[in-house]
Amino acid sequence: MKWSRKHLLDIQSLSAEEIVAVLDTARSFKAVGERSIKKVPALRGKTVVNLFIEPSTRTRISFELAAQRLSADVINFTAEASSLKKGETLKDTARTLEALNADIIIVRHSATGAPHFLSRFLGASVINAGDGAHEHPTQALLDVFTIRERKGRIQGLNVTILGDILYSRVARSGIWALTKLGAHVTLCGPSTLVPKTFEQFGCRVTHDVEEAIRDADIINLLRIQHERQRRSMFPSIGEYISLFGLNKARMASAKPDALIMHPGPINRGVEIDSSLADGDRSLILEQVTNGLAVRMAVLFLVNGGGSLQSE
């Protein structure tokens, strides 16, 4: 076991060994989800809080189920219903949750660095569930878990990330995890969303989708955020689809064993064709399943690990 951290704030500060420790632990927990009784007592009597100031049903449910399967008590605290409306600061909210003896606080926040900020004064463990356009570490961990499970390794693989790189915390965390584990990462998308400066992270940057796909072992698509991006970042959804949307014709030029990933929820017919999303080269639903196992592993590890004895 290489893990001794109290928090999971980002991928950037993790070593390759720590990432692998999460992946190995997640493998054990994945088996729990396949059993008839999907429950282990590892976190019984512990209190886990989902502090979601930026709402996300999918990620919240994944963490909630992960905590339940570890037998923890889970509380959901979302911005809509919260006293943040009354002007309470994030710091006061978090310290209040800690005063309720919360053991682990899972934070999603639109502000970059919110989880790091909380970790500096909280005694509870903090897990970053997405902060601004900065990092989304459990997404990156489930992605590399999925790749390793399917391809047997990360080292030396060609992984292409396609879409909005500039504003994507999924992309940032993914780049860190993949490069630390020895993958060759290619970033592709409109030049407004994929600036050349990303080369400094050890990635290849291209705006030519055929070039990006050609040698890829994994094509990881990012969600196009209609609302925000359409306005200023590219002329139209139609143009994005025609230039960068993944379809059968484009996929035909990829390697025969290239696989497709997407963090979801997908825009069918935008960043990916329906037939590809549902095809046997798509890992999209496996990512969801693996996400639960990875989150169980993270909750387990930040709480100090221990034995995995089943109920």
Site residues (vs its own copies, CB under 8 A): 33-39, 44-47, 55-58, 61-62, 64-65, 68-69, 73, 75, 77-78, 80-83, 86-89, 92-93, 95-101, 226, 264-268, 285-286, 288-289, 292, 311
Shortest distance, position 246 Cβ to its own copies, whole Å: 16
**Letter for the amino acid at 207?**
H
Comparing CB distances to its own copies, the nearer of 83 and 192 is: 83
Determine the Cα–Cα distance for residues 275 and 84; give it in Å rounded to an integer.
43
E-strand stretches of the chain: 47-52, 73-78, 104-109, 125-131, 158-162, 184-188, 204-206, 218-221, 259-261
Shortest distance, position 270 Cβ to its own copies, whole Å: 9
E-strand stretches of 18-169: 47-52, 73-78, 104-109, 125-131, 158-162
Shortest distance, position 164 Cβ to its own copies, whole Å: 14
Shortest distance, position 1 Cβ to its own copies, whole Å: 20
- Is the peptide bond prior to 190 cis by the omega test (within 30 degrees of 0)? no
Cβ 30 vs Cβ 290: under 8 Å: yes
Shortest distance, position 99 Cβ to its own copies, whole Å: 4
Comparing CB distances to its own copies, the nearer of 136 and 184 is: 136
Q: Is 299 helix (H, G, I), strand (E, B) or coil?
A: helix
Comparing CB distances to its own copies, the nearer of 104 and 185 is: 104
Comparing CB distances to its own copies, the nearer of 49 and 183 is: 49
